[in-house]
A = this chain, B = another copy of it.
């Protein structure tokens, strides 16, 4: 493509304001995380059902709703998108009695022991309303010592426990399955210290991510992770689930950012690993065991985390490519040319764009001229507005000349940038407006990432529409399959194929959401038997009575 033509196609719309366009928009680790009740329909379950998908299964995909959380003890769970999960309450656990409650009242302040039915009911249900337990007790410790006393007691009494942060997870990891005692961390929300030379934040686990974000931004830093759920999620939950999110491509995983943890083990032992050092090679780095173990090995109570310096300039471009190979090559070129300022590389196929434009109010395709097959959103963040933009423009011109990009625009202001992001983030919302949506969150080597989308299209024919999009820069595909209604036959054509295919590529069946209750029994698709066995051994070592977050993460058969 001639440079002049490329320059013509690259319609530059003017300067982008300094403020990040992502602020205030519903980005989300788990797709748009707007928490108003009506938006719940965007998630995994069948849109025609308005009640949580917990309740006695009668037959072939017909479900009765449950009238109260208390019934959960008697019921079995069913989760769409990951086949059925049937779990019995473990009889080894004691049942809560009045002596237990008296003890907790003796060690916690008045507001720390919650038995009020309405308040406990809220804590029993996840934020999607998809998973529901039947706990009768919510404990709200104010400090690590209280957490320690609670766990020590529960361990002795064999009372099962669910640690709960902001309760924004997507896999049922943060709510009880049966009558587990809920230990909420919301009362532990203090910022302990901030080293404004090195950008090292130390805080309690119950701090809301957005509060931390605001705090460090005032100091000229940013949190190394950002999620749509940031207004509710706790940093302790982020660490416990190894949350990915929007800044992953730039700042990597929490295994790299978290410097230290304080964790309370199942027996009440307080494990102080709360270093604020960047380098420390003295013995095994135990904190990593607790990052991403979903509260099943210990309760994270304090965190120190490295925060990157806040950079003032953000630019967003929306591009089209004629084939998936070009998207891959564009990613390679972007890594090379934009290297240190690249902050997002998201891709969508044209089915996604069509759906978003069709179903979302106010959303339009910035590149409507031709029916392109793929679209890419690139964001750069750097320290020099004019230079960064010049660099982005030069990169896009080169990419057009090289034939990688068919067309493209750069946002001229926050509004345009927001529209670009809105398309990408609206896909999930648009999907559920069709009717039923089967959602999968997969990690697959980039070169094969789109194959599963095409194979799925072949398998399903006209019976459903298959959308492929996601964080291409991280090798993270969101595979959404939408059709007018839920259908067991369709599900059978999707599963276990999607897991088997992902497994054959050495992919991950949970890129960033964790396993929780939803996928605990599916771990073998992504982990070897030896690895699962070692996980089970470590679980038994750290929590021999298995009181922490039972029924989750690992298959019941290995515990």
Contacts and interface: CB of A to CB of B under 8 A. Distances in A.
Interface string A517-554: 00100010111101110110110011000000000011
Given A292-B284, A534-B286, A197 B446 contact: yes
A176 to B, nearest CB: 21
A277 B507 contact: yes
Contacts of A506: 274-277
A511 B383 contact: no
A508 B197 contact: no
A238 B519 CA distance: 34
A282 B515 contact: yes
A242 interface: yes
A195 interface: yes
Interface stretch (A45-53, A184-192, A334-342): A334-342
Interface stretch (A2-10, A33-41, A265-273, A431-439): A265-273
25 contacts: A196-B332, A198-B446, A244-B279, A253-B278, A253-B279, A269-B530, A271-B531, A274-B506, A275-B506, A276-B506, A277-B507, A277-B508, A278-B475, A279-B475, A279-B512, A280-B443, A281-B508, A281-B512, A281-B514, A285-B291, A286-B531, A308-B339, A336-B383, A340-B383, A538-B541
Nearest to A525: B282
Contacts of A553: 283-284
A204 interface: no
Contact of A445 (B244, B277, B532): B277
Contacts of A256: 252-253, 255-257
Contact of A523 (B282, B337, B511): B282
Contacts of A269: 530
Interface of A: 195-199, 220, 241-242, 244, 248, 252-253, 255-257, 265, 269-286, 288-289, 291-293, 297, 308-309, 311, 328-329, 331-332, 335-341, 382-384, 387, 391, 443-447, 471, 474-476, 506-515, 519, 523, 525-528, 530-532, 534-535, 537-538, 541-542, 553-554
Among A309, A382, A514, A528, the most chain B Cβ lie within 10 Å of the Cβ of: A309
Nearest to A555: B283
A432 to B, nearest CB: 23
A197 B331 contact: yes
Among A281, A332, A475, the most chain B Cβ lie within 10 Å of the Cβ of: A281
Contacts of A508: 275, 277, 279-282
Number of copies: 2
A195 B248 CA distance: 19
Nearest to A327: B197
Cβ-closest 8 pairs across A and B? A256-B256, A288-B288, A340-B340, A280-B508, A282-B526, A279-B511, A277-B443, A272-B528
A278 B252 CA distance: 8
A328 B541 contact: no
B474 A279 contact: yes
A528 to B, nearest CB: 5
B197 A270 contact: no
Nearest to A310: B336
Contacts of A444: 277
B514 A197 contact: no
Contacts of A531: 271-273, 283, 286
A331 B242 CA distance: 29
Contact of A339 (B265, B382, B443, B446): B382
Given A275-B508, A283-B523, A284-B292, 14 more contacts: A195-B445, A197-B446, A244-B281, A253-B256, A273-B527, A280-B510, A280-B526, A281-B513, A283-B553, A285-B288, A288-B289, A309-B336, A338-B383, A384-B391
Contacts of A280: 443, 508, 510-511, 526
Nearest to A250: B340
Given A255-B255, A272-B528, A278-B476, A284 B538 contact: yes
B278 A443 contact: yes
Nearest to A513: B281
B278 A195 contact: no
A273 B297 CA distance: 20
A340 B310 CA distance: 10
A522 B308 CA distance: 32
Contacts of A535: 283-284, 286
A413 to B, nearest CB: 23
Contacts of A311: 339-340
Nearest to A276: B445
A233 to B, nearest CB: 15
Among A279, A283, A445, the most chain B Cβ lie within 10 Å of the Cβ of: A283
A519 B280 CA distance: 13
Nearest to A528: B272
B530 A281 contact: no
Contacts of A309: 335-336, 339
